[in-house]
Structure 1
Amino acid sequence: MTAGNRTDPPRSGTERETLRAYLDYHRATLAMKCAGLTDEELRRRSMPPSTLSLLGLVRHLAEVERAWFRRVFEDGEAPLVWSDRTDFQAAYDASGSTRAEAFAAWEAEVENSRRIEREAGSLDLAGYQPRWGEEVSLRMALVHVLLEYARHNGHADFLREGVDGVVGA
């Protein structure tokens, strides 16, 4: 996924088309916020004591994709990408990470998530969320992941501005 592939969501469509389009829009927004930066710039932290960085957000959202699609609808025992102890905070430590590593993991999880959604016959498809110990629908997972991206893209706006002053969309 590259920064230049962001398409505005449709003004109308089915529920599924709308959810898919908004999620892809936010995925592309994250890529856009990271475009053109070096590994060092992507690892730059916001401000003490926070360890938040753009690269940390990419890593975290790879975990979010995995946790809400792969683990819920395919393999509840699948390990996280950056933690074998199911520590969702571990992804934020991007101090030893590179763009290539983080984006490869994120893009692989995004593609797997898209495949799961495409192959599902219905948004009512139920999967088991191991963190909650209960079943959730694909619809709920899509909405949850969309909200994660929307929230973290707000962080990405501020992080990018802090790196090089770039703001906007």
Structure 2
Amino acid sequence: MPDDRIGPPLLGGERETLRAFLDYHRATLEMKCRGLTDEQLRQRSMPPSTLSLLGLVRHMAEVERTWFRRVIDAQDVPLRWSAEGDFQAAYDASASSRAEAFGAWQEEVEHARRIERAAESLDVTGYQARWDEKVSLRLVMLHMIHEYARHNGHADFLREGIDGEVGA
């Protein structure tokens, strides 16, 4: 599997480094899905789990949307895949396609990048309703890195189970 990810700067400032690590993890998820059919991307890990690579992409679209658009930018937008606010609904990719999931994810990543770049500093805050607390953009960036890192570990196992591909 070709690795065209750009690594974070070794001597960058805080914001540049956070941005680069987040983009590195975004690229890792995309790389883990490269070259697979829709059917392979929908392949579930093992019963009773509904976890699949496509489900992870949909979930990360929802996470990007929530933390950047809803929390930091205070946009009143619903979740993409659940009118009831159920984050687990994104994992059900049984009727999804690469085009649908990746289209949504790429759209949310672009919104997130725009919001982050427009923020005056990492100290900008937003309201996280689930916690009933204000949170900084810094926390959001770190949380997103954590989310991707954890789910990219899942993606490693899922991809290996599909076609034996390992690494990155």
TM-score range, shorter chain: over 0.9
Corresponding residue of 1:28: 27
CA RMSD of aligned residues (A): 1.1
- Which SS does the other structure have where 2:134 is aligned? strand
Return the offset for 1:132: 1.2
Corresponding residue of 1:155: 154
Letter in 2 for 1:24: D
Q: What runs of 5+ residues in structure 1 fail to find an aligned partner? A: none
* Correspondence list, 1:70-81, <5 A: 70-81=69-80
Corresponding residue of 2:54: 55
Task: Output the CA distance in 1 between the equivalents of 2:41 and 2:86.
Answer: 22
Answer with 73-82 or 150-159: which moved more. Answer: 73-82
* Correspondence list, 1:131-150, <5 A: 131-150=130-149
Corresponding residue of 2:94: 95
Q: Determine if contact 1:83/1:91 at 8 Å carries over to the other structure.
A: yes
Task: Output the CA distance in 2 between the equivalents of 1:125 and 1:28.
Answer: 26
Q: TM-score, normalised by structure 1?
A: 0.96
- Sequence identity (%): 71
Deviation digits for residues 7-54 of structure 1, max 9, x if unmatched? 111112100000000000000000000000000000000001111000
Task: Output the CA distance in 2 between the equivalents of 1:115 and 1:104.
Answer: 17
Deviation digits for residues 133-161 of structure 1, max 9, x if unmatched? 11100000000011000000000000000
Letter in 2 for 1:92: Y
Letter in 2 for 1:163: I
Corresponding residue of 2:38: 39
Q: What runs of 5+ residues in structure 2 fail to find an aligned partner? A: none
Return the offset for 1:74: 2.2
Task: Output the CA distance in 2 between the equivalents of 1:84 and 1:145.
Answer: 23
Matched, 1:105 2:109: no
Return the offset for 1:113: 0.3
Q: Determine if contact 1:76/1:130 at 8 Å carries over to the other structure.
A: no
Q: Determine if contact 1:76/1:129 at 8 Å carries over to the other structure.
A: no
Q: Could you say if the C-alpha distance between residues 128 and 80 of structure 1 is closer, same or farther in structure 2, counting changes exceeding 3 Å?
A: same
Q: TM-score, normalised by structure 2?
A: 0.96
